Structure 1
C-alpha cells in the first residue's frame, strides 16, 4: 500500500503525485533515484531490496536480465551497472513506476535498461537471470501465477533470486516452488529476509 488506499501494484495509481528522491548506496554503486507517491517504498530503498542487492552473486555479463516488479528502478539499475553489456528488462504493472525507472536509468546513463509493462515484453525473450523483490501482498494465487509466468522464461542455465520476508511466507514459497518442479534453495538470510535461489 502507498497511502490513501492506493496499491503500488495498480496500473495507474490514483494517489496524487508527490515527487521525491532516495539514495541507493552500495559498496560498488551510489545513485540518486527519483521517486513518487503511488509506487513501492517511495521514501527509502526497501530493506528487502537492499538485502537482495548486497547478497546475490554478480549477474551474467551479457544476454537478457529481468527485474520483476521494478518500482522506481533500484534493482534494474544495479543489474545494468554490474552487467553493462547485458540488456536489463525492468517490468512492472505500475505505469508511474515504469516512467520513474526510465528517467532514473537515463539520468544514470544506463542506456540498456528497457522499462516496459509486463505485457509488453516480447514473447521470444528468455532471461539468464531474474532478480525480484516480488509483490507478496498481491495474494498467494496472483503471486504464484506471476512467478510461473516469468520463471518459465529462464534460459536452461538461468537463475532467479527472490527476496521474501520470513513472516510473509518465504518458507512456504520455497516449498511451493519445489512442488512445481523448480530447484529452490536459500541463498542467504538476513534481517528476517530470505533470498531464494531458483533454477530449473
Structure 2
C-alpha cells in the first residue's frame, strides 16, 4: 500500500477534493486530500460507528483517536456541543484538514493536534475511533495501551474494526489486558467494540521454569 496515511508528512502530491458525511442528524461537507485515510469517501467503518454508537456524554472531554480529516470528531462536537472534543493523528496533513473542516462547520468546541502534542494529563469521558489497523498488531497494541488508560472511571471507548482485519482477536486481547470489552454492533463485516476502563493490571507472563517432565516422542 506504499506510504500510507500514518506517515507524519505524506509525500503524495496534494489532490484536494471533498466528501459528504450524511447521517440522520447532520450533513457535513468535508475537504480531503491525498495521503490521508479514505480521501475519496467516508470510510464504511466510520459510517457504521457513527450510525450505531450511543450519544456521547453531553459534557467533559471527548477523544477521536486517529481523527483523519475529522468526520468522527466533528460528529462528536455536533452531538455534544457542551463538551470539548479532541482529535489526534500522526498525519500533519490530516490534522490541518480537520482544523479547516471544523472552521467551515462553525464548530468551536473541537481541537485537533498531533498525538504527541496533546497534554498527557488529559482524561476522556469517551473515546471513539476507527483505529489504524494496518500499522501492524504491535503498533496498534501500543497505541491502545497509550490511550485507553486515559478513560475516566465512567468513560467508554467505542472502536470499529473489520472482522477480517482482526476484530475478534482484538476483542480477546483487550479483555486479556484487563479492559472489559463487548461487541455492541455488527454490520457488513464490521464490528463495533465497547471498551470499559481497565479493571485490573494483566498478569505478567510467567518466567518460572517448567515443572513438567520430559515428553515421550
Same fold (TM over 0.5): yes
Question: Is residue 93 from structure 1 mapped to residue 75 from structure 2 by the alignment?
Answer: no
Question: Is residue 120 from structure 1 mapped to residue 117 from structure 2 by the alignment?
Answer: yes
Q: TM-score, normalised by structure 1?
A: 0.98
Determine the C-alpha separation between the residues in 1 that align with 2:114 and 2:152. 21
Question: Is residue 77 from structure 1 mapped to residue 74 from structure 2 by the alignment?
Answer: yes
Note the C-alpha offset of 1:6. 2.1
Output aligned runs, 1:137-176, within 5 Å: 137-176=134-173
Larger Rg: 2
5+ residue gaps, structure 1, are: none
- Deviation per CA, 1:8-61: give whole Å up to 9, x if none: 000000000000000000000000000000000000000000000000000001
Kindly tell me the number of residue pairs found equivalent between the two proteins. 197
Determine the C-alpha separation between the residues in 2 that align with 1:171 and 1:86. 32
Determine the C-alpha separation between the residues in 2 that align with 1:77 and 1:123. 22
Match 2:50 to one of 50, 53, 75:
53
Note the C-alpha offset of 1:123. 1.6
Determine the C-alpha separation between the residues in 2 that align with 1:175 and 1:56. 21
Determine the C-alpha separation between the residues in 1 that align with 2:191 and 2:17. 29
Q: TM-score, normalised by structure 2?
A: 0.90
Note the C-alpha offset of 1:108. 0.2
Could you list the structure 1 runs, at least 4 aligned residues long, displaced by more than 6 angstroms after superposition: none
Note the C-alpha offset of 1:112. 1.1
